Structure 1
Amino acid sequence: METPYIDLHCHPALKPFGKSFSVSPTRRNSPDSSKPNSLWYYDPPSLTDKLLNYIGGLTKFSQANATALGYGNVLIVCTSLYPLEKWFVNNKLGSGSLSDVINDFALGIGKERINFIQQITDYYADLEDEYDFYRQLHNTVIQGKYRYVLVKNYTDIEYWQSLNDGITTICFLLTIEGLHTLNTGLETDPNPDEVLAHAAKLKQWEFKPFFVTFAHHFWNHLCGHAKSLSGIIADATDQSKGLNTGFTDLGWEVLKTLLDNSDNKRILIDIKHMSARSRSEYINYLKSGNERIPLIMSHAAANGLRSMNEPVVDILETGYKLLQEDINFYDDEIYYLAQTDGIIGLQLDERRIASTATLHDTPHSLFRNKIMHYRSALLWNQVQHIAELLNARGLFAWNNIAIGSDFDGIINPLNAFWTAEEIPFLADYLERHAYNYMQGRGRTVLQTYNQISPHEIITRIFSDNALRFIKTYF
């Protein structure tokens, strides 16, 4: 069997779990792949969907459903549990019927789910419901040829991937995006004892989360977040509370609870969405310890700038092509990630990986092969920047880059690479860019030990690096 692709961050359940609030009984994961409340519901983009995405940046189709993952040979997946924050839908549009229609148009999760989130008082209960949604079809064969399984460790992955029974198996490693899920970030201050009890309980789950994204889009009483929203959603919401702040006392307690490994049940920390200040505080905390804990940026991008305190471009070839905002990561943070044997999963959101000017200057075409070439170049700019950064610091350039698509995470995907089904095409086109680079600039810029074959570069990015990381830390 060909090597499966790995995605470090996507949301297979976000839309079907949302749609499950529209049927009775609610919160049921249907084994019928024709039902919208099934993780297997196949909903590829129509021409209208593509035009709507191209013009308005709205993603109305399903990107990471299990069927699309199977078709794309994306068979090892870090699935992100994410109870939607109520401030997405309790926004400037109000909470009436018109607001529900507009919110559902933007988010695609169903009006009943939106009404539920608008009234939510317990994020942790909602997290457990989504966890149960995944568990319902664990190891259930669909259409006689597919199944997904939840896995507890790398040994489980080895078993399922080696099982030769004619069934295509997708391994789901559970993760969590946003620790508001511990029941913080609501109208009143959280109960610290309850929050810490929830954090400890995560470590006792049968399928313990591999890592958690500590912050997300809104204030969670634990640490500051970075500005992350744009377009229609940004216009309707307010991210200002807690923006760009650092860790709270409660945040440090939660962090230490999750990282404690005395029970061999450590949950790693993903620093995506943290404010730059929170990231700096966390990195300094790791540096002050006597144990190497890997840095994770699960669905991320470089911003091309040296550091938070020195926001200048050192790598002129790529630095100005990237989105220079602090939702993305500074060169010194990526360098530290490599030093800690960490992993950066490059996300596939056009708005994150490239500057507005780069997007504007990217050529257009009516031919699919040319569109794929032009849009995959946006991702290659990220790969090249990280490789040249690590090369300049005397490190191996190709060991820490992977894919963390953020599919179904309300993103604007690279045109022509709409869903997980197109991941093999993205790998092929990125290999073309790698070939051109290694025939040209790479020959003069890279150290000899970093001049590896284009095929090895792409195999590492789409599979081997993430697999090594999972084998080491899961």
Structure 2
Amino acid sequence: MPFFDFHCHPGLKPQFSDPAKKPSPWDFINAKLALSRDINLSINKLFNETLNSQSNLTQLLQNQVKLIGVILHAPEQKIGQGLSEKKIVNKGSVNLIDKTQLAVLASGVHSFELITEELRWLQEAVPEVAGAKFKIVSKSTDFDEADNNTVFGAIIVEGLHCFFNDPNALDAKEKFLANFSSFTDAHTVVAINVCHMQQNPFCNHAHGIQFINPAYFYPTRTGITQWGREVIQLMIDKKILADIKHMSLKTRWELYSWFKDENDDTKFSQPIICTHAGTTGLSIKDRAKFLLKQPVDKGLVYEVAYVKPKSKHAGDCYHNCSSINLYDEDIANIFLSGGIIGLSFDQRILGFADENVLLNVTVPHDVEYISHMEADFFLGPNPTVLPVWPDDTDVWASEDFEDLDPSLYVKMHRKFLLNNIVHILWVASQHASIDLQKAVKQICMGTDFDGLINAIDCCKTADGLEQLKQDMKNELPPLFNANGLAAININQFLDDFFYNNGKNFILGRIKLMRG
């Protein structure tokens, strides 16, 4: 059975290595510790899991992942800076990470150089598997479904910052526009994330990184800037889609308003996509309902901690209701626009509590930061006096996993993934203007493998895809039946979710763009 992945990073990790010795995107890259016999160093479990989350091109080929949204991404300045401050990295103890290269990343002036080099390396790296190839799909006829020796990639750029040289230079805007134009003229770019983890001049982002100093990644602005509107218009003119992942809620709302027909809010001028999503399980009106404590004023931002609300669809499942995830209205807008949702395989995004948190947890929770400039929109006029969730009913309480056996994580993580799928389709089924049988064609897999994630234990790499599909075949029917989704054909849905939906959407967009 072939597979499709909407959001895959086979070329990211080599960017952290010594350029003269960087590993191939075809190879498994193990972030081992370089220890002498007499030295013992500890490494945070989540940090280690993150460094080793991976699907390389060999794994993709061997597991019939025929087509991917191949993500080009320049690690942001603050990521380079934050990693450099990790003691274990600073000592040179992680073999994957080169201190000199981190300094290059931390300078923040090489983003466009990094993505062009990443694309070149993906295309020129020599596989050890005889006859294996990686090929960029520039026009729809470049994709050959019968070719079992090739991994095909459609370009998605994660973050408009990737088109900068020095963002603080006097001619930064001119260089940015020249880079954007030259790259998108030369290559078929299906989609771009307007923002990523770090503040940028185009729009405000949602907080979304956990293992580096959070202050480096505070979202401090509001909505879409004038320059952001100009660049998004350039994207529209070139039929490049806006990927809403990483946008703040207010930013997303402004984008929806822009793309909607002013006389009919069920009609959109452009499809909206989210390539690697999780769900809050909530309507937007409930965005501040599940507070662990009252928001804390940190200066430019409010720190907001949420308890984890219980799923209405699956027992013992919970949601991450941070605003980086999709609210029910986000889901509806994507479906109505003719867009598509890719499901992330990041266990935190899907609602599971990070494993390093579980070790000494009091109450499972998620933390994010809301810009002062968006606080009134998100939290109302008095953020620091909002009521907190009163007790441990309908949320994940500490006693719920006091005796939880880590050997159960594989099954639990799979259930959390299914819960997100069911919730997305349930939202579609409840909307008067959304056809459920159409919506089942608008959801796919977007793992974020080889990104900065802690992948679900049931599928840490592409090696787990076939087993995951088989397990889902057994576990989805009762969930569909219990949530008003019994009309969905399970076998067809799984074939579509894992392959057909994403493939058809990507190739359809490329045909529209370049033929």
Which residue number corresponds to residue 199 of structure 2? 219
TM-score for the superposition, normalised by structure 1? 0.81
Is contact 1:178–1:216 with CA below 8 Å preserved after alignment? yes
Which residue number corresponds to residue 335 of structure 1? 332
Q: CA RMSD in A?
A: 3.3
SS at 1:155 equivalent: helix
Give percent identity, aligned residues only.
23
Which residue number corresponds to residue 210 of structure 1? 190
Gaps of 5+ in 1: 24-35
Q: Equivalents in 2 of 1:385, 1:458: separation in Å?
A: 16
Deviation at 1:428, TM superposition (A): 1.8
Per the alignment, do residues 318 and 311 of structure 1 end up closer, same or farther by CA in structure 2, a change over 3 Å counting?
A: farther
Per the alignment, do residues 146 and 352 of structure 1 end up closer, same or farther by CA in structure 2, a change over 3 Å counting?
A: same
Aligned with 1:39 (options 7, 25, 45): 25
Deviation at 1:316, TM superposition (A): 3.3
SS at 1:210 equivalent: strand
Is contact 2:53–2:460 with CA below 8 Å preserved after alignment? no
Is contact 1:11–1:409 with CA below 8 Å preserved after alignment? yes
Structure 1 residue 275 and structure 2 residue 254: aligned? no
SS at 2:54 equivalent: coil
Structure 1 residue 461 and structure 2 residue 497: aligned? yes
Cα deviation digits, residues 158-201 of structure 1 (max 9, x gap): xx3224xxx52110111110111121784567732322222222
Structure 1 residue 415 and structure 2 residue 457: aligned? yes
Deviation at 1:330, TM superposition (A): 1.0
Which residue number corresponds to residue 59 of structure 2? 68
Counterparts of 1:296-375 in structure 2, within 5 Å, are 296-307=273-284, 316-317=312-313, 321-354=318-351, 356=353, 357=364, 361=400, 364-365=404-405, 371-375=409-413
SS at 2:425 equivalent: helix
Structure 1 residue 122 and structure 2 residue 118: aligned? no
Per the alignment, do residues 186 and 199 of structure 1 end up closer, same or farther by CA in structure 2, a change over 3 Å counting?
A: closer
Per the alignment, do residues 155 and 270 of structure 1 end up closer, same or farther by CA in structure 2, a change over 3 Å counting?
A: same
Deviation at 1:403, TM superposition (A): 0.8
Which residue number corresponds to residue 246 of structure 1? 223
Is contact 1:276–1:308 with CA below 8 Å preserved after alignment? no
Which residue number corresponds to residue 236 of structure 2? 259
Larger RCO: 1 or 2 (CA < 8 Å, sep 6+): 2
Per the alignment, do residues 315 and 392 of structure 1 end up closer, same or farther by CA in structure 2, a change over 3 Å counting?
A: farther
TM-score for the superposition, normalised by structure 2? 0.75
Is contact 1:83–1:126 with CA below 8 Å preserved after alignment? yes
Aligned with 1:376 (options 404, 411, 414): 414
Per the alignment, do residues 177 and 39 of structure 1 end up closer, same or farther by CA in structure 2, a change over 3 Å counting?
A: same
Aligned with 2:428 (options 381, 390, 395): 390
Cα deviation digits, residues 306-346 of structure 1 (max 9, x gap): 12686569983369821111010111111011111111111
Aligned with 1:7 (options 5, 15, 33): 5
Aligned with 1:285 (options 238, 246, 258): 258
Is contact 1:305–1:314 with CA below 8 Å preserved after alignment? no
Give the aligned length. 432
Q: Equivalents in 2 of 1:307, 1:128: separation in Å?
A: 38
SS at 2:155 equivalent: strand
Q: Equivalents in 2 of 1:185, 1:318: separation in Å?
A: 48
Counterparts of 1:22-33 in structure 2, within 5 Å, are 22-23=20-21
Is contact 2:84–2:99 with CA below 8 Å preserved after alignment? no
Deviation at 1:8, TM superposition (A): 0.4
Cα deviation digits, residues 40-77 of structure 1 (max 9, x gap): 1124799xxxx978666633325121011122221211
Per the alignment, do residues 411 and 189 of structure 1 end up closer, same or farther by CA in structure 2, a change over 3 Å counting?
A: farther
Is contact 1:398–1:457 with CA below 8 Å preserved after alignment? yes
Q: Equivalents in 2 of 1:203, 1:304: separation in Å?
A: 36
SS at 1:323 equivalent: coil
Is contact 1:177–1:212 with CA below 8 Å preserved after alignment? yes
Counterparts of 1:138-153 in structure 2, within 5 Å, are 142-153=128-139
Q: Equivalents in 2 of 1:317, 1:467: separation in Å?
A: 28
Residue 224 of structure 1 aligns with an amino acid whose one-letter code is N
Per the alignment, do residues 53 and 149 of structure 1 end up closer, same or farther by CA in structure 2, a change over 3 Å counting?
A: farther
Q: Equivalents in 2 of 1:126, 1:414: separation in Å?
A: 29
Deviation at 1:154, TM superposition (A): 2.4
Q: Equivalents in 1 of 2:411, 2:233: separation in Å?
A: 45
Per the alignment, do residues 99 and 364 of structure 1 end up closer, same or farther by CA in structure 2, a change over 3 Å counting?
A: closer
Residue 161 of structure 1 aligns with an amino acid whose one-letter code is E
Per the alignment, do residues 311 and 431 of structure 1 end up closer, same or farther by CA in structure 2, a change over 3 Å counting?
A: farther
Per the alignment, do residues 355 and 63 of structure 1 end up closer, same or farther by CA in structure 2, a change over 3 Å counting?
A: closer
Residue 14 of structure 1 aligns with an amino acid whose one-letter code is L
Is contact 1:244–1:275 with CA below 8 Å preserved after alignment? no
Per the alignment, do residues 210 and 55 of structure 1 end up closer, same or farther by CA in structure 2, a change over 3 Å counting?
A: closer
* Larger CA deviation: 251-260 vs 189-198: 189-198
Is contact 1:141–1:147 with CA below 8 Å preserved after alignment? yes
Structure 1 residue 192 and structure 2 residue 173: aligned? yes
Structure 1 residue 84 and structure 2 residue 64: aligned? no
Deviation at 1:225, TM superposition (A): 0.6
Which residue number corresponds to residue 472 of structure 1? 508
